[in-house]
Amino acid sequence: MPRNYKKEYKNYQGTTAQKKRRAKRNAARRAMIRAGKARKGDGKDIHHKNGNPKDNRKKNLKVVSKRKNRSFKRTKTARKARR
């Protein structure tokens, strides 16, 4: 059975909360590009150290590989597990 992308967008990605989180993640990336720590197309992710995409303070952001940023163990509420 193929994925229903319209339904996925409507039920999750298109919600107001998800749009705000995505906008903040994009803003974090732009801030790191302006700071000279990331470049467009570099294949890196901007890591939020505390797991909160709305917290774009400089000390909370770090440029890491996609593999490292997306490999954290998650809790039931989709937060990064504390180590």
Whether 51 has a pLDDT exceeding 90, the answer reads: no
pLDDT surpasses 70 at 79:
no
Distance CA 81, CA 23 (A): 24
**Residue 4 C-alpha from the chain's centroid:** 23
**Mean pLDDT of all residues in 38-60:** 93
Rounded CA-CA distance 13/5 in Å is: 10
C-alpha distance from residue 65 to each of 8, 18, 47, 49 (Å): 27, 23, 9, 14
Q: 43 vs 75, which has greater pLDDT?
A: 43
- Listed by start position, the domains of the chain span 5-69
In the chain, the percentage of residues whose pLDDT exceeds 70 is 90
21-42 residue pLDDT tens: 999 999 999 999 999 999 999 9
